[in-house]
Chains A and B, each alone.
Chain A
Amino acid sequence: QKEVEQDPGPLSVPEGAIVSLNCTYSNSAFQYFMWYRQYSRKGPELLMYTYSSGNKEDGRFTAQVDKSSKYISLFIRDSQPSDSATYLCAMSNSGNTPLVFGKGTRLSVIA
């Protein structure tokens, strides 16, 4: 079993839809959870950064962490064509250890 599992998609939704992206993981030591957005041929950019369990909201984005289930989610409300990208989940044991990434989910928002 891989440390981090993420459905690669592709996921195609109409503009304005709510998007749900998920990752599961096996390492219970993970404490820091991140979501990155990566446009084609670009480096990943940080969207959300969460410590331990709970929810975090930033504009149209909501990140949820359920450590008991080893499951994290990213919700995108009112999705826009500009949200079309690959979304990678990432996690680490502590703030100064390398990140373990999911495979990324390719999202297309259709106008």
Chain B
Amino acid sequence: GAVVSQHPSRVICKSGTSVKIECRSLDFQATTMFWYRQFPKQSLMLMATSNEGSKATYEQGVEKDKFLINHASLTLSTLTVTSAHPEDSSFYICSAENPSSRDSEAFFGQGTRLTVV
């Protein structure tokens, strides 16, 4: 089936540094990708919708200057957490829609566990 690859799976960074997370659709072209964040024992919360070739749409309360999203190609979206702080430590997951699948089914990446120390 369709595969979405997310990298890295785990990253530890120092407070104040930036971290880039990549989300790739391996066997389909995704015009739309979504970025979610999941805190421990919480549900996935949508952060932003990433559209190829245009600006991302951010959910209320998500700082667009802190969470930079670039969807430069139909198979790659990146999320950069800038000037990371310990409260940004979380599990970040991307999903990509396969427009060729039934009802544009969404496929998830493996997730990235970010720890800011």
Interface residue total, chain B, C-beta cutoff 8 A:
26
A51 to B105, CA, bound (A): 11
Number of A-B contacts (CB under 8 A): 54
Which residues on B are within 8 Å of A, measured CB to CB? 6, 32, 34, 41-46, 49, 91, 93, 95, 97, 99, 102-111, 113
The majority secondary structure among interface residues of chain A is loop
Which of B34, B42, B108 contacts A44 (CB under 8 A)? B108
Most-contacted residue by chain B among A8, A100, A101, A103 (CB, 10 A):
A101
Secondary structure dominating the interface of B:
strand
Q: Which residues of chain A come closer than 8 Å to B45, judged between CB atoms?
A: 101
- Residue-wise, chain A 42-72 has the 8 Å CB interface mask toward B (1 for contact) of 1111100101000000000000000000000
Task: Report the Cα distance A101→B95, complex, angstroms.
Answer: 13
In the complex, the answer to whether B111 meets A104 with C-beta atoms within 8 Å is: no
Chain A residues whose CB sits within 8 angstroms of the CB of B46 once the complex forms: 98-100
Total A residues in contact with B, Cβ cutoff 8 Å: 23
